[in-house]
Amino acid sequence: MRKIGAGAGLPLARRRMRAISLKVSPSGARSISRRALPILLIPLSGCTGAQSALDPAGEEAAAVFQLFLVMVVGGALIWIAVVGLLIHAGRRRETPWSAEKAGRLIAWGGVAFPVVVLLALLAYAVWLMPAIRPWLARVAPAPETIEVTGEQFWWRIRYPASDGMPGFETANELRLPVGTRTAFSLKAADVIHSFWIPALGGKMDMIPGRTNMLSLEPTRTGLFRAPCAEFCGTSHTLMAFSVVVMEPDDYATWRRAQAGGNRPGTGEGKRLFAYHGCAGCHGVRGVTGPATLGPDLTFFGQRQTVGAGTLANTAQNVARFIRDPGAVKPGAKMPAFDMLPEKDIAAIATYLVGLQ
């Protein structure tokens, strides 16, 4: 019986390879690569979007992206060189390298090259640090400071008083003027959270009992998403805020409106909001008294999401959240209000979405 070993299998495999390569003519190969190109490019589309550090919209994010590119390209070139050397080393040759020549290669390629390249990359990264995280003390004029507190599982945002306007609190949506540096004093109410707007800059932890400072400068307007970047409990992944970068004039208008609060308005929803005790935890400036236990809901209808980045902001989703927050967002501190009549929940939801 004939044994089928490597010696017999190899020619067979080679014949098959030849058959395959014969079927693909050069023009055919080109058309395949042309057809494959869009498919190969699909993963690249993941690099853009509202939550991507690879699509920078801020000074700091641009510096981080630059560092990323230099490191990736540098690493890839070194990898190609090392793999090339490996292939070269694995090939059989008539006259092997002398010990002296090999020693020289090791000294240059294994000692001198890494020392110089690592020194250059290290110096480059340290040199870039002020661009990635500007020294606040040296930023002139001193930027305005917005206080952001991480809470399970939402974001409390306090704007300071400015231009005669009083300071105000909002939640889960940050608005910033384009082209202006803003500082953030970052705090945590319960456990460690992390403040990260990938499109604008690097992240900074929010630690209970500490105040961490960060500053960011957006360079283009747009809507961005900022996830909590430190595991903080069951709904960590559902804790995000939206960032709206606006033209300075629009921003000033928005801020004036926010500081002034909502118009009192009338309607069944407004009455029920107070009647069922919502206003005990959630404040609506200009409508209810101050309440800071839960997220402030002033101009809630302008926000992109309900439940800190969990659902789209529609009356239907707001009603769903009121009925049972824990079903939407496990571990949420707000109790379920499924004992309320459906029409009351719907009225409150409509009222909140109407807070424009």
Q: For binding to other proteins (CB under 8 A), which residues are involved?
A: 111, 115, 118-119, 122-123, 126-127, 129, 133, 135-138, 213
Q: Given CA atoms 243, 247, 250, 255 in this order, what sign does their dihedral have?
A: positive
Let me know: does 175 contact 303? Beta carbons within 8 Å. Answer: no
Minimum separation from the CB atom of position 128 to other proteins (A): 9
Minimum separation from the CB atom of position 67 to other proteins (A): 14
Minimum separation from the CB atom of position 70 to other proteins (A): 16
Classify 182 as helix, strand or coil: strand
CA-angle at 190, arms to 310 and 196, nearest 5°: 50
Which of residues 8 and 122 has its CB atom nearest to other proteins in the complex? 122
Helix then strand then coil, in percent of the chain rounded to 5, is 45, 15, 35
Which of residues 92 and 135 has its CB atom nearest to other proteins in the complex? 135
Minimum separation from the CB atom of position 253 to other proteins (A): 32
Bond prior to 141 in cis (omega within 30° of 0): yes
Rounded to whole angstroms, the Cα distance separating 252 from 178 reads 11
Let me know: does 202 contact 132? Beta carbons within 8 Å. Answer: yes
Minimum separation from the CB atom of position 203 to other proteins (A): 14
Structure tokens at 287: 């409508």
Which of residues 50 and 128 has its CB atom nearest to other proteins in the complex? 128
Which of residues 29 and 106 has its CB atom nearest to other proteins in the complex? 106
CA-angle at 209, arms to 204 and 211, nearest 5°: 40
Which of residues 47 and 129 has its CB atom nearest to other proteins in the complex? 129
